[in-house]
Amino acid sequence: MNSLKILFIVLLNCTSALAQDIKIIDKPIIYDSTRFKLSLQYLKERHGIIKTEPKIEPIMIVLHWTEAKTMSSTFNTFNQPTLNGDRKAIAGASNLNVSSQFLIDRDGSIYRLMPENNFARHVIGLNYCAIGVENVGGNDFPLTDAQLLANEELVRYLTNKYSIKYLIGHYEYTLFKNSAIWKETDPNYQTIKDDPGISFMQKIRFDLKDLNLKSAPNK
């Protein structure tokens, strides 16, 4: 075996080991029969997809921020299967509560809120193929260096596990509207987003450039 091939095998093994060394804390939100049924309904009515189980085949990771200051407040918001009364802008599309597969705290702790391939409502038009990662923070309390590192580790872990092709910030989601990936039955249903911030996405894309993940299409 030549030296180049040996080096390749060593690098491959190191990459796999790093992907598996990630620490993920399981902290499941309620995924009862109500969330189950509403998820199937959302898949059918919003994405035009009929399934018997609310599962996804992820090809995309969408990064968010919460605009809440604590992990516990975000968890409590996601935990209930149905929307609370103050989400009128999106309640007309479905009573299914918003959520994500992952939540990352200010110190970089990674919480898994549901199985990674369970359906979650976090990004219009793309929920059916996207894993959502929420970060505790917002415009008034920018995401931390610890969160940046945790997001990078999580993206590497998920890319190693699934056929991930895209990595986007939530603010970029509407750029998919004219692509084959976009599945939203109401062409007028969208919201304006700025999370998780342009600078955060620039940093994470630079640090993960070796993964060759695609960003959102240009207009």
* Beta pairing, strands 60-65 & 110-112: unpaired
Return d(Cα 34, Cα 97) in angstroms, integer.
10
Give Cα separations from 215 to 15, 33, 42, 45, 190 (angstroms).
22, 35, 25, 27, 19
What's the confidence (pLDDT) of residue 9? 41
User: What tokens does 29 get?
Assistant: 């939100």
Tally Cβ neighbours within 10 Å of residue 189.
14
Give Cα separations from 91 to 53, 55, 137, 181, 206 (angstroms).
23, 22, 24, 24, 37
What's the confidence (pLDDT) of residue 86? 72
Q: Is 101 exposed, middle or buried (0-12, 13-18, 19+ CB in 10 A)?
A: buried
What is the tens place of the pLDDT at every residue in 178-209?
A: 999 999 999 999 999 999 999 999 999 999 99
Half-sphere exposure of 47 (CA within 13 A, CB side): 25
The answer to whether 116 and 58 have CB atoms below 8 angstroms apart is yes
* Poorest-pLDDT segment among 17-26, 101-110, 121-130: 17-26
Q: What is the DSSP string of 108-119?
A: --EEE-S-TTB-
Is the confidence at residue 1, as pLDDT, over 70?
A: no
Return d(Cα 31, Cα 201) in angstroms, integer.
30
What is the tens place of the pLDDT at every residue in 52-71?
A: 999 999 999 999 999 999 99
What dotted CATH number matches 24-211? Answer: 3.40.80.10
| Mean pLDDT, all residues of the chain | 91
